[in-house]
Amino acid sequence: MDWLGWLIFLVALLISVMWHETGHFVAAKRFGMKCTQYFIGFGPTVWSFHWGETEYGIKAIPAGGFVKIVGMTSLDTVEPEDEARSFRQHPRWQRLIVLGAGSFMHFVLAFVLVFGLALGLGIESDDTTQLATIATCVPANSTALLNGAACTAKESKAPAALAGLQPGDKVTSFDGIKATSFTQLSDLVKARPFQTATLTVDRDGKTVTLHTKLAYVPHWGGYLGVGTTDVFQPTSVFGAVSYSGSFFSQTITGSVSALGSIPSALPKLFAKNRADTSAGDVTSVYGAARDTGEAVAANAPWQDKVAFILLLIASLNIFVGIFNLVPLLPMDGGHIAVVLWEWVRASFARLRGRADPGLVDYQKLIPVSFGVFMILVVFGVMLVLADIVNPVNIG
């Protein structure tokens, strides 16, 4: 079923790209700017049609998309009759809205996905200590644990298996401490490596007391070897809004942190302990598609699969929305920075009683834009290669 997950991700990616370009397109049209092309992909045209003054279509390289708005920069050649409708002739506040509309649409799509998940399926909760899986061995390290690596002959038997825990058991207490959630139980276990523990479980309505010695996983902590299935609790519209806001806050914080860690992540992309470094916090389109495929193929309830995929796609849309706002050309944020600089420069000129200096000379910015573009290409290729030969499982 991996192929189905890949297909779902690729369709979601295509929709996200179209949604981004639609934001630019609709905003530009709303302000009367002339849009001559709306394409998904780059390179040679595979298929297209004309509707009104705009050509819509698909390009051969599915690596993004674009909307062609006439007169985007001072370098563009515009027919005299179209100059009044060019991007550069419109007020700066309108240009800023058009440039920011792509990222805005990513945020809208992410909110709709998270809100719909919370309202339709429910909010994921770990308020259960009923066990769904029992590990057979102790992973060699945290990377093997997170990646679900298969057991080897060198690895010892997991404490949960030695204790006799079974799928369906509900842990009611751990060393005399009442178990209230799986997160709480995991924290208790991780804090007590090598220690003997007593577990009380409810097994088919009967109380069973079990004993075992916890193991230790490097860079992780104490290890028992159990897993649970989250439950989904129905919520109200206000609860869905609150959940969506919390998700946005956490994802934005994580995205900004991931962007800030990119320089330090580069040397560690191919390290054996990548998952334990800043390189473990970044992934490529290939890595995200692979994780979606693995989620669909996993032996897990459909609710978990739906939640994982929707939250993954929402997270990627938030990340891309933020990334596009980074004030570096050729990204939208770079063009926004140029318009803001024009605005600041015009304000200073007005204070000094001078004429508006007008548009920034993009000819001078071409080397910077090309340099940033090449850096992004190199980093993107490295990230894809790392996700192929040295993957990190995020789910």
114 with 161, same domain: the answer is no
Give the SS3 label for residue 215. strand
Please report whether residue 50 resides in a domain: no
Please report whether residue 295 resides in a domain: yes
Choosing from 176, 194, 229, the residue where a domain stops is 229
Please report whether residue 83 resides in a domain: yes
22 with 160, same domain: the answer is no
Helix H or strand E encompassing 66: strand 54-69
Where b means 16+ CB within 10 Å and e means fewer, 202-218 reads eeeeeeeebebebbebe
Residue 339: partners with Cβ closer than 8 Å, 6 or more residues away: 92, 95, 96, 99
Give me the helices (H) in 31-171, please.
92-120, 142-147, 159-163
Cα separation of 362 and 358, whole Å? Answer: 12
pLDDT confidence band for 114 (50 / 70 / 90): very high
134 bridge partner residues:
226
Please report whether residue 82 resides in a domain: yes
Please report whether residue 43 resides in a domain: no
289 with 180, same domain: the answer is no
Task: Check pLDDT > 70 for residue 356.
Answer: yes
Task: Check pLDDT > 80 for residue 367.
Answer: yes
What domain count does the chain have? 2
Please report whether residue 41 resides in a domain: no
53 is catalytic: no
Q: What is the pLDDT of residue 55?
A: 96
Q: 166, exposed or middle or buried, with CB in 10 Å at 0-12, 13-18, 19+?
A: middle
Confirm if 172 and 210 have CB atoms less than 8 A apart: no
245 with 381, same domain: the answer is yes
Cα separation of 19 and 305, whole Å? Answer: 24
pLDDT confidence band for 394 (50 / 70 / 90): low
135 with 186, same domain: the answer is yes
Task: Check pLDDT > 90 for residue 201.
Answer: yes
Q: Residue 160 sits in a domain of what CATH number? A: 2.30.42.10
Report the chain's mean pLDDT, rounded to a whole number: 90
Q: What are the two backbone dihedrals, phi and then psi, of residue 134, each rounded to the nearest 5 degrees?
A: -125, 120
118 with 253, same domain: the answer is yes
Residue in this structure with the two tokens 């040679």, named with its chain if needed: 44
Confirm if 142 and 275 have CB atoms less than 8 A apart: yes
Please report whether residue 178 resides in a domain: yes
Task: Check pLDDT > 60 for residue 353.
Answer: yes
29 with 173, same domain: the answer is no
Confirm if 158 and 136 have CB atoms less than 8 A apart: yes
145 with 277, same domain: the answer is no
What digits encode the pLDDT tens for the residues 263-320? 888 888 888 878 778 788 788 889 899 988 888 887 677 888 899 999 999 999 999 9
Choosing from 188, 207, 229, the residue where a domain stops is 229
Of the listed ranges 32-36, 138-142, 183-187, the one predicted with least confidence: 138-142
What digits encode the pLDDT tens for the residues 144-162? 787 677 788 788 899 999 9
192 with 140, same domain: the answer is yes
Choosing from 205, 229, 253, the residue where a domain stops is 229
107 with 248, same domain: the answer is yes
What digits encode the pLDDT tens for the residues 323-343? 999 999 999 999 999 999 999
Cα separation of 287 and 78, whole Å? Answer: 41
Range of the domain at 28: 1-34+70-122+237-395
306 bridge partner residues:
none
Task: Check pLDDT > 60 for residue 99.
Answer: yes
302 with 202, same domain: the answer is no
Residue 301 is given by DSSP the state: -
Please report whether residue 55 resides in a domain: no
Q: What is the pLDDT of residue 2?
A: 79
Reading the block at residue 198, the tokens are: 């007593």
Confirm if 38 and 50 have CB atoms less than 8 A apart: no
210 with 258, same domain: the answer is no
| Full-model pTM | 0.80
State which amino acid sits at residue 76. Answer: D
Q: Which of 21, 53, 81, 124 is catalytic?
A: 21
